[in-house]
């Protein structure tokens, strides 16, 4: 028996699934360029499994979520509200923003933190078709020598990195895979 409702697809075992998902999220954020599997939740379309799992893991009633364009459906809102209780806010107030790259830009819509509190910035969850360890060259903390990651837009992300210690952080999600790009990573276009 499997009755599908607008609330189906949450964590089966919330403490365990969330801990595994958090471990994956922390690993990719601390090792830019690394790609990990991220599963556990089955969100409604068009949210990917990785993005849905990430939101269930990271969001609670105190983190505002901004849903960009086509992600912003009634089903996604109901699902996130039931499982996380997170409020939906505008881009300027968001702690987490979810969407495809084309819907998320321009980046100056998001909070980048203040010099006193650089942590008061938005984390962007960018939905990609697929992730690959190719394309832009990454250097910086957490990377031995250099790493490669398929980024949606190199110049914009370079400009974001130049704001360090301010700026946004990125999770890239594609299907069940997740990678991350913290603001501390230097990006070099493939040469």
Partner 1 sequence: MANETEIDAEVRRGWMSLLAKAPESALMALWGEVSERPAFEWLRAPEVGGVMVRGRMGGTGAAFNLGEMTVTRCSLVLADGTVGHGYVQGRSKPKAEAAALIDALMQTGAAASVRAVVLDPLAGQMRAAKAARAAKAAATKVEFFTMVRGED
CB 6 to partner 1: min, Å: 8
- Contact yes or no for 67/77 (Cβ under 8 A): yes
Where in 68-127 is the site for partner 1 (CB under 8 A)?
A: 82-83
- Contact yes or no for 55/67 (Cβ under 8 A): no
CB 58 to partner 1: min, Å: 18
Instruction: Give the total of residues touching partner 1 (CB under 8 A).
Output: 12
Choice from 8, 90, 133, 146 touching partner 1 (CB under 8 A)? 8
Q: For residues 65 and 97, give the distance between their C-alpha atoms in angstroms, rounded to a whole number.
A: 6
Q: CB under 8 A: which stretch of 10-18, 27-35, 151-159, 178-186 binds partner 1?
A: 10-18
Using the structure block, give the residue that is written with the tokens 């699934």. 17
CB neighbours (10 Å) of residue 141?
11
- Contact yes or no for 175/51 (Cβ under 8 A): no
CB 7 to partner 1: min, Å: 5
Name the residues that contact partner 1, by CB under 8 A: 1-5, 7-8, 10, 13-14, 82-83
């Amino acid at each position: 028996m499997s009755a599908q409702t607008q609330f189906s697809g949450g964590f089966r075992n919330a403490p365990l699934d969330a801990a595994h998902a958090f471990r994956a999220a922390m690993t990719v954020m601390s090792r830019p360029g690394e790609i990990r599997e991220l599963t556990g939740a089955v969100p409604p379309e068009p949210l990917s499994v990785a993005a849905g799992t990430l939101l269930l893991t990271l969001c609670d009633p105190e983190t505002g979520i901004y849903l960009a364009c086509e992600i912003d459906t009634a089903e996604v809102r109901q699902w996130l509200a039931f499982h996380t209780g997170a409020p939906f806010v505008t881009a300027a107030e968001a702690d987490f923003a979810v969407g495809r790259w084309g819907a998320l830009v321009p980046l100056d819509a998001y909070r980048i933190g203040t010099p006193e509190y650089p942590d008061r910035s938005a984390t962007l969850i960018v939905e990609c078709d697929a992730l690959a360890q190719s394309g832009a060259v990454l250097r910086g903390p957490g990377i031995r020598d250099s790493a490669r990651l398929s980024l949606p837009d190199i110049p914009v992300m370079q400009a974001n990195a130049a704001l360090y210690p301010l700026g946004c952080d990125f999770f890239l999600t594609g299907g069940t895979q997740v990678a991350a790009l913290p603001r501390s990573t230097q990006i070099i276009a493939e040469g």
